[in-house]
Amino acid sequence: MTQIHPLTDEALLDQLQRAAFGYFPQTVNPRNGLVADTSRDNSPVSIAVVGFALTSYPVAVERGWMERADAVQRTLAALRFFRDSDQSGRPGATGYKGFYYHFLDIHTGARVWQSELSMIDTALLIAER
């Protein structure tokens, strides 16, 4: 009979953190750094999730889960995307006057689902940088 060896609290926490981080590399668009809201096919981007991804990259580098060059590339892709994004408020825009729409198309960055300008999600994106 196989013996079960329970994980220590530290090992369990490490395993959980590694699994949680694993979501971001699986769902990122490497061209623009945008991260899908869910793992479902054709999921839009949530700007809050992009903020969470940006904060996870330095931790992942420190723990050996991601190469520094990869983290730099993804971070710069996202920051450049938002810096250069359309802030006109038009239907295909990413945001308006510094506030971003809650959900964006992962390929184009255009607003989807007629989502709202989200102060909370914009704060999560910006505060995470």
The span from the CA of 97 to the CA of 74, in Å, is 24
Q: Which residues of the chain have pLDDT under 50?
A: 129
pLDDT digit string, tens, across residues 16-43: 889 989 999 999 999 999 999 988 888 9
Tokens of 14: 């490490």
Q: What is the pTM of this model?
A: 0.85
Q: What is the CA radius of gyration of the chain?
A: 17
Strand partners, 117: 101
The span from the CA of 68 to the CA of 80, in Å, is 18
